Amino acid sequence: MHIASDGHEIHGWQDFANCLGVDPDLFFPERGASTREAKEVCRGCEVRGDCLEYALANGEKFGIWGGMSERERRRVRRQRALARRSAGA
């Protein structure tokens, strides 16, 4: 939550996330550990897309964001880069 200059509360997407209040360590598992529990928290989250876009825009390299692992986010970035290149061709 943020406070606007007029004193009103502005709620960011994080305020509506399923993971709010969940131990952050769940979303940063050790290498080779299961990501299933973290992804389960993300499943059905109303701001999952916002979370994923935040991670992609900010180059988050670690953890589960928007229900995706680092490897899955890299795949999305590659696909988007290819789509941009082919659209510009």
What is the b/e burial string over 73-89, where b = at least 16 CB atoms within 10 angstroms of the residue's CB? beeeeeeeeeeeeeeee
Give a yes or no: residue 79 inside a domain: yes
Q: Round the average pLDDT of the chain to a whole number and report it.
A: 89
**Mean pLDDT, residues 40-61:** 96
- Entry pTM: 0.83
* Phi/psi at 2 (5° precision): -125, 155
Give a yes or no: residue 2 inside a domain: no
Per the structure, the complete domain to which residue 64 belongs is given by 11-88
- What percent of the chain stands above pLDDT 90? 80
Task: Tell me how many domains the chain contains.
Answer: 1
Give a yes or no: residue 5 inside a domain: no
**Mean pLDDT, residues 9-26:** 89
Query: For residue 65, is pLDDT > 50?
Result: yes
